[in-house]
Amino acid sequence: MPLFPRPARRTRSGDLPIQPWRFRFLLVWGLLLASSLGLLVNLGRLQIVEAADLQERAQEQQTALVRPFIPRRPITDRNGVVLAVDQPVYLMYAHPRMFTLPPQQVAAQLAPILDRPVDELLQTFSQAETGVKVAIDLPEAIAQQIQRLQLDGIDLEQQQERLYPQQELFAGVVGYVNDDRQGQAGVEFSQQKVLERSAPDLRLRRTGDGTILPIDLPESFLYADTLRLQLTLDSGLQRVARTALQEKLKAFNAKRGTVLVMDARDGALLALVSEPSFDPNRYYEAPMELLKNWALTDLYEPGSTFKPINVAIALEAGAVEPQTVLPDEGEIHVDGWPIRNNEGVAYGSLSVSEAVKYSSNIGMVHMVERMKADVYYDWLERIGLGKPVGIDLPFEGEGQVRSRQEFVEAKINRATTSFGQGFSLTPLQLLRLHGTLASGGLMITPHVVQGLIDENGKSQWQPTLPDAKRIFSAKTAQAVVEMMEQVVKDGTGKPAQIPGYRIAGKTGTAQKASPYGGYSNAVITSFVGILPVEAPRYVVLAVVDEPTGGVVFGSTVAAPIVKTVMEALIVTEGIPPTSTR
């Protein structure tokens, strides 16, 4: 080996060749430089371009979003009787491949608890190896019995179910919720936001295997307020009204009926019954037409129960006085149309008070003729005819009234309106109009919601109601109420008499409009009562649709219902008898 290396040979071009070690150095350096640049570019992409997305993904992996389930608030009547409440129920699943006992033994242990045959359970188990739904809506007591068996392969999943302990009694008012826990009718629908307890979603830390760290749970995580939604209704009075209505519906084979009780002092409804009803616990089994409350959704022509309202209008307009004499020919023709009293009875002449007492159609026609058509129509608009009352229940009907032009140009339209036909309203709207008489001329808003009450019975929230509106003078209102008292004392309302009490009332027996025009042979009977006359406060209305058989009038069908309800009202409210001096 030479002591000194030979100098590199030059190429023919005269350049020295790149030595192998220098080439490897440049190659490695280039690779390192390219890798570093790549890392810098990727780092910039991760930290700048995709930073927000990666941060969100990391947060999802390191935390858990928890949406706590909070039951809906209960609904009670004014005395605290529960009308609707959430309760825990359970879904039961079977996973046959996880059974440690033979399926026959599992079925034998479950059969008496579930009240189902062993063979039926075995057939259910055979549907799949896992995730077989065995039972739904199991009460908590049943679920606890199953849990105590400690059967492998049996799984219970807790859910919440809305329970209506009073069943059909309050269905038309309370309503029901669907499987998504959304109110579909009644208070459950109109007060959805009040009944739902709100709670924010919680984001909690969790470990690498997904376990939530309990230290992060806030103290209020499982807290739910104890507020309940209290209604103005009275369960005892509601039950009396429903029983009395059902008896008459059965006796007269009627299509349907309703009873309403209102405190005219503030518009609070103490009873609101609509029959036939349905069980909100099993609403899906009810015919669609029963899922509405027809007392506030459906229209009808009120007939003679509207006459006291017309009298109040005529008195307030200065067209008549209580003792103004009106002719009564028994039958007249208006615009070529015949109008007659019941059975064509002609009274010759009647005072306004007597026209109410004997329910004279002809007397009412002559009374409204004393008013100008425009003035009369203005009053009908003022009392809100054809408009909803604004109750805190959903799907209220608006009513139907002829246009001003039709009303003014055709005399027959004014004539039929005078005795309560030719227009339509809901039973609730008629109740409100008579409430105007009972309240001394003030129009109030009927309502069923009292407010949110805490566990100590203290009010935490009350709905804001519209201010009462002056419609009639107190003198006019009381004068009409006293005329209605004569109806009960000596007129068609005698069946509503209660010894020791001054009762005002008015019967109604109206032909029903035919869908093909004109009127059918079917009738709708009604009676409205006001108690007590000396200090009017409570209004009771009963309407029975299409009664048949026997003597069918407001006096025979509806008035006895109102009497029964008023007797219960006297006891419930502690109304003293009329003082005698």
525-to-62, 270, 493, 506, 544 alpha-carbon distances in Å = 70, 22, 13, 11, 5
Whole-angstrom distance, CA of residue 494 vs CA of residue 486: 9
List residues with catalytic annotation. 304
Whole-angstrom distance, CA of residue 101 vs CA of residue 114: 18
Q: Is 241 helix (H, G, I), strand (E, B) or coil?
A: helix
Half-sphere exposure in the Cβ direction for 233 (13 Å, CA): 29
Q: Which structure tokens are listed for 91?
A: 């879904």
Whole-angstrom distance, CA of residue 435 vs CA of residue 455: 33
Whole-angstrom distance, CA of residue 70 vs CA of residue 223: 9
* Beta-carbon count within 10 A of 185 CB: 24
Whole-angstrom distance, CA of residue 253 vs CA of residue 271: 23
Half-sphere exposure in the Cβ direction for 140 (13 Å, CA): 6
Nearest Cα to Cα of residue 328 among 360, 370, 352: 360
* Beta-carbon count within 10 A of 73 CB: 22
Nearest Cα to Cα of residue 531 among 448, 419, 434: 434
Q: Hunting for tokens 């009392």 — which residue is that?
A: 383
Burial class (CB in 10 A: 0-12, 13-18, 19+), 199: middle
